[in-house]
């Protein structure tokens, strides 16, 4: 179990998949009181499962979502469609993603074409 190990940081997502076991591992990762980098399948599972608001907002350790630009666009579009259906979710999600323990980050955002 993840919580029984002496970790300082954890990355969750690449190659994780979208199975029930993957969701269980993601839930353990979200409960771990360590720095957590969320990428790829972890972000997709959170978006698909619909618990991104509370899970990220209530984490003890710092959280860094690390979507690639295409992932971010797809997740934001999917999230936008859900917002239209549930307007009351907007303030909670905005607060969750703007917390100091959940900085905004877009992978390769500092890269420039030459």
- Taking only the tens place, the pLDDT of each residue in 24-75 is 999 889 888 899 999 989 988 888 877 665 777 788 889 888 888 888 877 7
CB-based contacts of 109: which residues, under 8 Å, 6+ apart?
A: 69
Residues of 38-71 as b/e, b for ≥16 C-beta within 10 angstroms? bbbbbbbbbbeeeebbebbbebebebbbbbeeeb
Place of tokens 């303030």: 91
Q: Which parts of 52-102 fold into alpha helices (H)? A: 52-57, 69-85, 89-98
d(CA 2, CA 24): 11
pTM for the whole structure: 0.66
Evaluate whether 103 touches 64 at the Cβ level (below 8 Å). Answer: yes
Please provide the average confidence, as pLDDT, over all residues in the chain. 73
Domain ranges in the chain are 8-98
């Amino acid at each position: 179990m993840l919580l029984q190990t002496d970790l300082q940081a954890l990355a969750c997502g690449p190659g994780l998949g979208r199975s029930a076991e993957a969701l269980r591992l993601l839930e353990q990762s979200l409960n771990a009181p360590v720095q957590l980098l969320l990428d790829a399948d972890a972000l997709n599972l959170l978006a698909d499962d619909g618990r991104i608001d509370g899970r990220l907002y209530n984490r003890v350790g710092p959280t860094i979502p690390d979507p690639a630009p295409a992932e971010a666009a797809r997740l934001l579009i999917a999230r936008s469609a859900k917002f239209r259906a549930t307007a009351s979710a907007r303030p909670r999600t905005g607060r969750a993603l703007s917390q100091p323990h959940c900085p905004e980050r877009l992978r390769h955002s500092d890269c420039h074409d030459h």
